[in-house]
Chains A and B, each alone.
Chain A
């Protein structure tokens, strides 16, 4: 949330909420930071910090250490300043967070969404963080660390409100499912495999387009490539292809893992199934080359 009310919504959030009510609770929380001028206060604090940092950097530069490359990525005093500033920007105060929870809750409940979903979204985030033993929540929530206390407060508010509301899950799925595969690919590219695995396992339990999800479950294991992961990937791809929603590329990835696992016959069969399912794919010539190598 920017000081002028501009709000960015990242695809990582859209993957991590189960329905429109959960999305509304996060948007309400963010909007509350703007309405109550938290983001403006933070901006002003950052301005003051930046002035201080500039003075510090001028001092350091005068001392002869400005902009020196000290490692493979060339850390300079400018970078240090930026890191400090970023860390400073990341924090809303505990009081501001509590107020944003409160005001955001009212906004989503007033809009007719199910109040209980406000706690559910934070619960899911905490589960992801705990399952992977993460030192901090996913990046998009790093300025809003969930806590047991906040969770309990939101649950109590939902009970006390006595309101009921809609989740609008179907509407949410209709809007997001056409894009989900692309978002999951981006999620995989972050290289944060534990977090992605936990997310995908929850989505599988959730039950929409599970063929596609088993494919991505296999992708997590294939790309992570730890002990036992090839077999896990093969099992996940095999589950995927039993569902109509599995993309044709599942056969290709299955073939790649089987080949790497020293099972050329099974790999051949999988590549042939890929060509059968997606013969016009733009990598078909490469797959045919693989098949020649597998003869």
Chain B
């Protein structure tokens, strides 16, 4: 299994296992879904796994599209766990971690460096812009990257730092079909964010 697949599947799921995740269950369209710190309107049905500060939603499988909903990421937390297969003898990588004083550019860099260390290639982050996340002043940006297999992915992110904790929605999907199919849905989900 490639490092990229490891990131998409094993690391994501393992992160959930490490956080005592629930078994996958259905998010039903129509009712608001509570994601620890905030609530969203899921718009459509999703398969959902959740742990302490992360939920991963997907329709067709995490290698095709995944919606990562982070809530209350605390100081020194990372967005993905240590990757598998890293040599114990190698120089330890400085894992990108959240700091409460991070601003929009810092969070964008945090996401970019995390994806790079997870094996993604040719990562580009663009269109960083101010946008409310719920009622909080926040940011949005767009992503594009290539998996080592050559498959192109696109993505988008939205978030805010609230009470020194990061609230972040990160969507990644295969560029052919899956990104254009689900990106409008994800944009509506982001628009629906509200803090109880």
Taking A136-B90, A286-B104, A286-B130 as contacts, is the C-beta distance between A189 and B17 under 8 angstroms? Answer: no
Q: CA–CA, A259 to B83, complex, Å?
A: 33
Of A135, A224, A252, A256, the residue contacting B90 (CB under 8 A) is A135
Interchain CB contact under 8 A, A186 and B116: yes
Interchain CB contact under 8 A, A256 and B94: no
Taking A256-B103, A283-B128, A285-B130 as contacts, is the C-beta distance between A73 and B83 under 8 angstroms? Answer: yes
Flag whether B177 is at the interface (Cβ < 8 A): no
Q: CA–CA, A282 to B13, complex, Å?
A: 34
Which of A86, A189, A195, A285 has most B Cβ within 10 Å? A189
As a 0/1 sequence over residues 183 to 197 of chain A, the CB contacts with chain B under 8 angstroms (1 = contact) are 000101111111100
Taking A260-B101, A286-B129 as contacts, is the C-beta distance between A83 and B116 under 8 angstroms? Answer: no
Output the nearest chain A residue to B84 by Cβ-Cβ distance: A73
User: What bracket does the count of chain B residues touching chain A fall in?
Assistant: 35 or more
As a 0/1 sequence over residues 111 to 140 of chain B, the CB contacts with chain A under 8 angstroms (1 = contact) are 011001100000100111110000001010
| A-B pairs with beta carbons under 8 A, tally | 89
**Whole-angstrom distance from the CB of B147 to the nearest CB of chain A?**
15
Interchain CB contact under 8 A, A135 and B81: no
Flag whether A75 is at the interface (Cβ < 8 A): yes
As a 0/1 sequence over residues 252 to 294 of chain A, the CB contacts with chain B under 8 angstroms (1 = contact) are 1000100110000000000000000000001101100110000
Mind listing 21 A-B residue pairs with CB under 8 Å?
A: A71-B18, A72-B14, A73-B81, A73-B82, A73-B83, A86-B85, A132-B91, A188-B113, A192-B91, A193-B94, A194-B91, A195-B91, A256-B106, A259-B103, A282-B126, A282-B128, A282-B129, A283-B105, A285-B129, A286-B104, A289-B137
Binding site for A on B (CB under 8 A): 10-11, 13-15, 17-18, 81-85, 87, 89-91, 93-96, 101, 103-106, 109, 112-113, 116-117, 123, 126-130, 137, 139
Binding site for B on A (CB under 8 A): 69, 71-75, 79, 82-83, 86-87, 132, 134-136, 139, 142, 186, 188-195, 223-224, 252, 256, 259-260, 282-283, 285-286, 289-290
5 A-B pairs besides A69-B14, A224-B94 with CB distance below 8 A are A72-B81, A73-B81, A75-B84, A190-B117, A286-B130
